[in-house]
Structure 1
Amino acid sequence: MLVKRYLLVIAATFALPAGAATILDESLQRPEGLRHYLLAQPATPADGKRPLVILLHGHSASAALTFGRGKINDPAAAWLALADREGLLVMAPDGWKGSDDERGWNDCRADASTSPKTDDVGLIAALIDVAVGRYNADPARVYLSGMSNGGGMVYRAAAELSPRLAAVAVSSMLMPTRSVCPAPRRALPILVAQGTADSIVPYNGGEVGGMWLKGRGSVLSAEATVTYWRELAQLPAAPVITRVRQRDASAPTSLVRYVWGGDPQQVQVEFLKMENAGHVQPSIAYSVPWALRLILGKQNGDLEFADETWAFFKNKRAP
C-alpha cells in the first residue's frame, strides 16, 4: 500500500529497454474489461522454456511502478536485472480500481470494503496461459510474488491456483482475519517477509491501514500466518535461524531468516523477520524517499528482496 500523492506514476506505453531486458506493454481482455500488464523479456537466448515470475503490486500502486517507471524507487524493479541474469520472464499486471478509486486486488479479506470485485484469480490463470502459450514459459516453474494488497492476492492464489504454482512469496501482508475464501488445502512453498514496525499491516495482527487508510480489512499476526503454512506443510516446529549480516552495523533495522524444511527442491516455509522495519521491501539499490518513509516506516538495506525471493524460488517445481 502506498499513499497516492507520492506515486505520480509515469506509465510505460511502448517497449523500453530495462538494462538488457526489454519491457513489453500488453493487455488482456477479461470480463470486467481490458487488463494491462508489463512483461520483461531477457535479451539472452532461451535454452528451453523459461521460468515465469508474476509480480503483484500494492494498493494504489501499478505495474509501471513495479518495473521502475514511477517517481519512486520500488525495490521490485530489481527483478529486471534478475530477468536478464537468470533468463526469467517477469510479468507485472495492473490491479483494478476499487470503490476508493485506487488500483488493487480482490483478495480474501471479507472486511476490505474498498477492494475491487474482479476475478483476479482468473486473471492470474489467464496470464499464466498467455506466458506459456505465447512466450515459452515453463508451466512447472511459475512463481508468484506480491507486496501488501498484492501479497493478500498471493495468499488467495496459493489456495485457488496451487497446482499451477511452484512457489509464492508475500511481503508486508498477513493472512486475513475474516476470509471469504476456502482455506488452502495444499501445502505450497512460501516465503513471508514482515516488518515488526509496520504501521499499515501490523506485525501482531489487527486492522490494516492504521491512520492512513480505512476499509482495508484486518489480518492475523505474523506468527499465526507463518504457523498456518508450516502446519499445512507438516514441517517440524523448529526452524533453521540465520541472522542476515548487516551491511551497516549502526543501521536501525536488521533481518532474521527462519526456514522450515531442509530441501530447497521440496516444500519449505521461509519467514524473513524485518526487525524495526516498516511497510517496505528490503533493498540495497532501491531506497524509497525519506518523505515516503515517514508513512511507510524504515527500510532495511541488507539485501535485495528480489534476490532473496529468487533464491527461494529457483529450485522449486510444480508437481
Structure 2
Amino acid sequence: MLASILYLVSGTVYAKVQTITIQHGGLQRSFILFIPHTIDTNLKSSVVFNFHGGGGRAEAYRAYTKMDATAERYKFVVVYPDGTGRYKNRLLTWNAGSCCAYANKNKIDDVGFVRKIIKQLPKYVKIDKTRIYATGFSNGGMMSYRLALELSDKIAAIASVAGNMHVEEFNPRRAFPIMHIHSVDDPRALYHGGLGPKFPFTNYRVEHRDVQEVMDLWSENNGCQKGPYLYKNLEFKTDKGTQRAEKWAYTSCIGRARVVHWKLSEVGHVWPGGKQDVMTDLLGPSTRLINANEIIWKFFSQYRLPNKRKKSH
C-alpha cells in the first residue's frame, strides 16, 4: 500500500514524500520515503535511514529533526521507518537488542524489517546499495547500533544521537564507522550509564551503558591506532549558561573506519539543530551549537560498503 504526496519546494519544484506499508513478521509495517527534488532520478542515490526515538513516530520525528532540508542540499534519500507498539500509532519503539519496551518485549524483528525496506526501495527510486546509512535519536540511535552489528553487509556507517548501544553480545563482523552525539547532561539517556528515569507514560526504565566505554570498544574493534584526539571545541552562551560541543575522534583505523564522538554539555536529550524548545521540562535544553544533520551527513559521505578483500589502515 502506498500514499504519495508531492509538495512545493522553492516555489516551483516538487519533492516526493511517500508513506509505504509492507508486511513483515506477521505485522503491517510502514515507513516514510522522502525523495528530494534535487536528485537526478536517472542516477543512483545514497540512502539515510533515520529512526525515531522511543515513544515517537515517523511523521512527527521527520518534522522534529528537519533532515529533509539537508537531504535536498546534499541530494540523498531519507527513510523514516515507524516502530511498533501496543497502540499501533503511538508510543512506538525499536528492538535494539536489550531495549526497548514493546518492541523488545515482543522480540520484534526490526533488523529484518530494515533489510526488507532496502530490498523494496528500488521500486520507488534508484539507490546506491554501497551507500546506505543509519542514524536515529535515543531508542532510534540504539537501533542504529544494532544494525552496525547485524546488518553491516547493507549499512555502510551509523550515527547515534542521544542513544547508546544496547546489545547482549558485541561481535562486529568488520571495522565499522561510528559517530555518536551525546550530552553529558542528558537527563534521559544517561551519559555515564546507570538506570534512567521512567519511559514517558510508563513505568519502564532503561539501564544505560557509559558512552565513553562504548566508544573505546568500537575503537578497539576498528583497530584505531591513534586517539581519542580533541579536534574541535565549540561554545555558545545562552541565558542559562554556556553550551559546549567537543569533537573527539579515534583515527588510523582499519579501512579508515573512524570512531567520532561529539560530547556536548549544558544540552538535553535532543537532536542538535532540530526543532527548538520541545518539552524542555522533560528533555532539557535544545541547542543550535551544532547541526546534527550536517555533521552526520558529512561523516556518512566519506564511506561506502568496503571491498571485502581489502583491509588496510
Settle same-fold status: TM greater than 0.5. Answer: yes
After TM superposition, give the deviation of residue 192 of structure 1 in Å: 0.5
State how many pairs are aligned: 295
Q: Which residue of the partner structure matches residue 7 of structure 1? A: none
Task: Say whether residues 1:310 and 2:297 are aligned partners.
Answer: yes
Task: Give the fraction of aligned pairs with identical amino acids, expressed as a percent.
Answer: 25
Change (3 A) 1:156 1:313: same
Give structure 1 stretches of 5+ with no counterpart: 1-11, 69-73
Deviations 1:184-236 (A, max 9, x none): 24221010111111121111101233585533431210111111111110102
User: Which runs of structure 2 are paired with 1:1-319 in the superposition (5 Å)?
Assistant: 14-17=4-7, 19=9, 20-44=14-38, 45-46=40-41, 48-68=43-63, 74=64, 76-77=65-66, 79-98=67-86, 102-109=91-98, 112-116=100-104, 117-176=107-166, 179-181=167-169, 183-210=171-198, 214-248=203-237, 252-261=242-251, 266-283=256-273, 286-289=275-278, 292-319=279-306
What is the aligned-residue RMSD (CA, Å)? Answer: 2.6
Deviations 1:57-76 (A, max 9, x none): 001111101221xxxxx1x2
After TM superposition, give the deviation of residue 124 of structure 1 in Å: 0.6
Asked if 1 retains the 8 angstrom alpha-carbon contact of 2:230 and 2:247, the reply is yes
Counterpart-to-counterpart distance in 2, 1:13 and 1:46? 19
TM-score by length of 2: 0.86
Structure number with the bigger relative contact order (C-alpha 8 A, sep ≥ 6) is 1
After TM superposition, give the deviation of residue 25 of structure 1 in Å: 1.5
Indicate the SS of the match to 2:256.
coil
Greater percentage in strand: 2
Asked if 1 retains the 8 angstrom alpha-carbon contact of 2:219 and 2:259, the reply is yes
Change (3 A) 1:99 1:222: farther
TM-score by length of 1: 0.84
Asked if 2 retains the 8 angstrom alpha-carbon contact of 1:236 and 1:260, the reply is yes
Counterpart-to-counterpart distance in 2, 1:38 and 1:280? 21
Counterpart-to-counterpart distance in 2, 1:235 and 1:83? 30
- Farther-moved stretch of structure 1 (150-159 vs 126-135): 126-135
Change (3 A) 1:158 1:99: farther
Give structure 2 stretches of 5+ with no counterpart: 307-313
Which amino acid is 1:94 matched to?
Answer: D
